[in-house]
Amino acid sequence: MDAVVKAEGLRKNYGEFVAVDGIDFEIPRGQCFGFLGPNGAGKTTTMRMIYRASPVGGGSLKILGHEAAGGRNDRAIKQRIGVVPQEDNLDEELKLRENLEVFARFYGLGRKEAKARAAEMIAFANLGDKSESRIRELSGGMRRRALIARGLLGNPELLVLDEPTTGLDPQARLNLWDRLRDLKRREATLVLTTHYMDEAEQLCDRLVIMDKGKIVAEGRPRDLIRQHVSSHVVEIAFANAARSVSERPEMAELTTLAKRHEQHQDRLLLYVDNGEEAVAKAAHLLPDAETLIRRSTLEDVFLKITGRGLAE
């Protein structure tokens, strides 16, 4: 496998705090690779080390054939990667077109090339009618697309996106996913972090789940779900939770159907491979309960592995 990024025992400490705790991963060329995890898991720190904003704390990090540790190859690496940062740092004082033309020059493009490249990227981001607008006149979604356009100026072999859709409304999010899918069709290598599991499932070919600076799972989204949880989850909710779930005698019979189950105050979660059977049984045994069946998600995987939800 042709790895664009290869990390071995990658670490980063801030004083006593261990942000990234010796992780290994390989990002294959031409794929979208995701880092999924809650805030503080070490995703952004890992991204910052990849896009050379942050020195490698320990271990080895090979990017496009260059060793990143030690910082000697930073310029060479940065010439070949693009960055869409978590924090919106477009230049508020300049127009959109000027923003991109100014930044294109950092990659060594001449005046004419920079103009052409900026225009091309503005068109790609569907911002053609905004090129003479000041940044502050753009909506949140437009700004994020402008950041992607800026990240692509150097014609990068690898585009790093740190939480590209955080804070966007659903419409803008879908719009942005379209742009990223477009890049995937062009066989760009993307690496993105997110704490939205639907985003990871939608966009990522492969992903790792991070928690507390460590990688706790790795694989293709569907494989991870199959491997760690069942294909479906049946949620049984009790409207009047007079007694706690565990006291109900019907429980034992239901839970035998599940690979795994979880009891909450007023809810029972059954992780099952045969969803219909479980739903029918639940309807029969617990006619007063509301029963819902859904496909398992990466959040269920995360919950199982860490014992916590992504939102926590």
Partner 1 sequence: MKLPGDISLTAAVSVWRRNMTEYGHTWMTNILPNFFDPVLYLLGMGLGLGMFVGRGVNGLSYIEFIAPGLMAASAMQGASFESTYNVFVKMNFAKLYDAYLATPAQIQDVAFGEQLWAISRGLIYGCAFFAVLLAFTAAGYRIITSPWAVLLPFAMLLTANMFALIGLTFTASIRNINYYGFYYTLWLTPLFLFSGIFFPLDNPQMAGGHAETIAWFTPLYHCVRLMRGLAQGPLDWTHGVSALWIIAVSALLAMVVPRRMRKRMVY
Buried-exposed string 72-104: b where 16+ CB fall within 10 A, e elsewhere: ebbeebbbbbbbbbbeeebeeeebbbbbbbebb
**Contact with partner 1 (CB under 8 A) among 3, 26, 29, 107:** 107
Contact between 276 and 310 (Cβ < 8 Å):
no
Whichever of 11 and 232 has its CB closer to partner 1, that residue is: 11
Q: Sketch the per residue contact string, 108 through 137, with partner 1: x for CB under 8 A, - otherwise.
A: x-----------------------------
Contact between 11 and 20 (Cβ < 8 Å):
yes
Using the rule CB under 8 A, is 103 a contact of partner 1?
A: yes
Using the rule CB under 8 A, is 73 a contact of partner 1?
A: no
Contact between 37 and 213 (Cβ < 8 Å):
no
Using the rule CB under 8 A, is 102 a contact of partner 1?
A: yes
Using the rule CB under 8 A, is 74 a contact of partner 1?
A: yes
Using the rule CB under 8 A, is 277 a contact of partner 1?
A: no
**Contact with partner 1 (CB under 8 A) among 1, 16, 70, 89:** 89
Residues 154-213 that bind partner 1 (CB under 8 A): 154
Return the range that interacts with partner 1 (CB under 8 A); candidates 1-9, 47-55, 233-241, 300-308: 47-55
Question: How far is Cα 141 from Cα 171, in angstroms, rounded to an integer?
Answer: 9
Q: How far is the CB of 93 from partner 1 (least distance, A)?
A: 5
Q: What distance lies between CA 68 and its chain's CA centroid?
A: 23
Burial class (CB in 10 A: 0-12, 13-18, 19+), 40: middle
Q: How far is the CB of 133 from partner 1 (least distance, A)?
A: 13
Query: Angle CA(184)–CA(185)–CA(186) in degrees, nearest 5?
Result: 85
Using the rule CB under 8 A, is 144 a contact of partner 1?
A: no
Q: How far is CA 89 from CA 10, 92, 129, 136, 148, in A?
A: 27, 8, 21, 12, 12
Using the rule CB under 8 A, is 85 a contact of partner 1?
A: yes
Using the rule CB under 8 A, is 75 a contact of partner 1?
A: yes
Residue 217 in tokens:
């799972």
Instruction: Number of residues interacting with partner 1: please give it, by CB under 8 A.
Output: 29
Return the range that interacts with partner 1 (CB under 8 A); candidates 73-81, 116-124, 173-181, 270-278: 73-81
Q: How far is the CB of 311 from partner 1 (least distance, A)?
A: 27
Using the rule CB under 8 A, is 65 a contact of partner 1?
A: no
Question: How far is Cα 208 from Cα 47, in angstroms, rounded to an integer?
Answer: 13
Contact between 175 and 146 (Cβ < 8 Å):
no
User: Which residues bind to partner 1, rule: CB under 8 A?
Assistant: 14, 51-55, 74-75, 78-79, 83, 85, 87, 89-94, 98, 102-103, 105-108, 150-151, 154
